[in-house]
Amino acid sequence: MKHVPVLLEAVIQALGDVNGKTVIDATFGAGGYSRALLNAGATVIAFDRDPNVVDDVKKIRDEFKDKFRFIQQPFSFIHDLPDVYDAIVFDLGISSMQIDNPERGFSFRGDGPLDMRMAASGKSAADLIKDSSIDDLAQILREYGDIKKASILARAMKDTEPKTTFELKKLIRNPRDIAPVFQALRIAVNDEMGELTKALAVVPEKLKIGGKCICVTFHSIEDRIVKNIFRNWTTPVGDPRLPSVLAPRFVLMKTVTPSETELENNSRARSAHMRGVIKSY
Ligand SMILES: C[S@@+](CC[C@H](N)C(=O)[O-])C[C@H]1O[C@@H](n2cnc3c(N)ncnc32)[C@H](O)[C@@H]1O
C-alpha cells in the first residue's frame, strides 16, 4: 500500500508560509511531505537512506526540476550540508512500503528474510542476532521493546539464530510481545535512536534565525529524545536569578496529535506526536 503521510496538515500548518523558502525533508518515504512543501512553493532537499524510494524521487524530480534535490544518505548527513535552512522536518520510523513488503523483513505478518534494514548496507536483523551476545540482545529487547523476560527470549534467539521472520515469530511465546520484539530489532538494526540524536545535534547550526524544526515521532523512546532535546533548547541558560542568564535559543511550538478522523482513516497515525521549535537567535 502507498504510504499515507501522517500529520501532514499539522506539519504544513506549523511551518506556515514556505513559499520561496528552503526546507529539508529528512525522511522522504513516498514523498508526501516533500510534494506538499513543493506545491506550497518551497525548495526541498530530501533525505532517505532507502534506495527503493527512487521511483517516487524520479516523479517528483521530473515535476519540480531543480526545486527538488534528493540525497540517498542517512539523515545524520544533514551535518554535511553547507548552508542554513528555513526548516528541517523529520517524519520518523518506517513507511508502509517498507512494512508491507515481506522481502524487507520488517513485518511478522508475512514470511521473509529477517532483514529489517532501511538502507541496502549494514547488518541485517539475522546478522545482529548472530553477532550479539545474549546480554546485548536482551538489552535491545528490554530497552526498545519493553520485553519482560528478555533474557529467556534472547537465549532462544541465540540458540536458534532465526533467518526468517516466521522463524523469529515462532520463538516468541507471548503473542503480545511479537510486535514489540520486531520493533526493538528494527530500531537496533537501523540505529534509529543514534541517528536521531546525531541529526538533532546539528539542527541548531543548520537553521536560520526564525527557522523551524518539526519532528513527528511514533515510539515513546524517540518521542522522549525529541522532547528532552527540545526542552534543553527552549530552557534559559544559567541561573535565572542572575542578570547574565541567556534567553533560550528556541521557542517551543504546540505539540499536536492526530485527530479522531485521521486515526479512523490511517491506523499508522496511532501514537504519533508532532513536536516543533522555532530558532529565536
Ligand atoms: C514514515 S516514512 C516518511 C514518510 C514521508 N513523510 C511521506 O510523506 O511519504 C520514514 C522514511 O524515513 C526513512 N528514514 C528513517 N530513518 C532514516 C534515517 N536515519 N536517515 C534517512 N532516512 C531515514 C525511511 O527509510 C522511510 O522511508
pLDDT 10s digits, 224-278: 999 999 999 999 877 777 767 777 899 999 999 999 999 999 988 999 999 999 9
Which tens digit of pLDDT belongs to each residue from 202-232? 999 999 999 999 999 999 999 999 999 999 9
* Residue 112 to residue 115: CA distance in whole angstroms: 8
Q: What is the pLDDT of residue 80?
A: 96
**Residues in a beta bridge with 252:** 277
**Is the beta carbon of 165 within 6 A of some atom in ligand 1?**
no
**Is the beta carbon of 74 within 6 A of some atom in ligand 1?**
yes
How many other CB atoms sit within 10 Å of the CB of residue 104?
A: 21
> Residue ranges of the domains in the chain?
8-97+193-279, 120-189
The minimum-distance atom of ligand 1 relative to the CA of 36 is 8
**Is the beta carbon of 102 within 6 A of some atom in ligand 1?**
no
Which tens digit of pLDDT belongs to each residue from 109-145? 999 999 999 999 999 999 999 999 999 999 999 999 9
Q: What is the pLDDT of residue 246?
A: 77
Q: Starting at the edge strand that comes first in sequence, how are the strands of the sheet with 68-71 ordered?
A: 68-71, 43-47, 22-25, 85-91, 207-217, 273-279, 250-252
Q: What is the pLDDT of residue 245?
A: 72
Dist. CA 259 → ligand 1 center (Å): 22
Cβ proximity of 21 and 87 under 8 Å = yes
Cβ proximity of 162 and 129 under 8 Å = yes
Cβ proximity of 222 and 92 under 8 Å = yes
Dist. CA 155 → ligand 1 center (Å): 32
The minimum-distance atom of ligand 1 relative to the CA of 74 is 20
Cβ proximity of 98 and 106 under 8 Å = yes
Residue the block writes with cell 534528493: 70
* Residue 88 to residue 107: CA distance in whole angstroms: 29
Dist. CA 273 → ligand 1 center (Å): 16
**Is the beta carbon of 32 within 6 A of some atom in ligand 1?**
yes
CATH class of segment(s) 8-97+193-279: alpha beta
Q: Which of 18, 55, 24 is nearest to 40 (CA)?
A: 18
Residue the block writes with cell 504510504: 3
Q: Within 13 A of 182's CA, how many CA atoms are on the CB side?
A: 26
**Is the beta carbon of 91 within 6 A of some atom in ligand 1?**
yes
Which of residues 281 and 139 earns the better pLDDT score? 139
Q: What is the pLDDT of residue 237?
A: 78
Which tens digit of pLDDT belongs to each residue from 42-90? 999 999 999 999 999 999 999 999 999 999 999 999 999 999 999 999 9
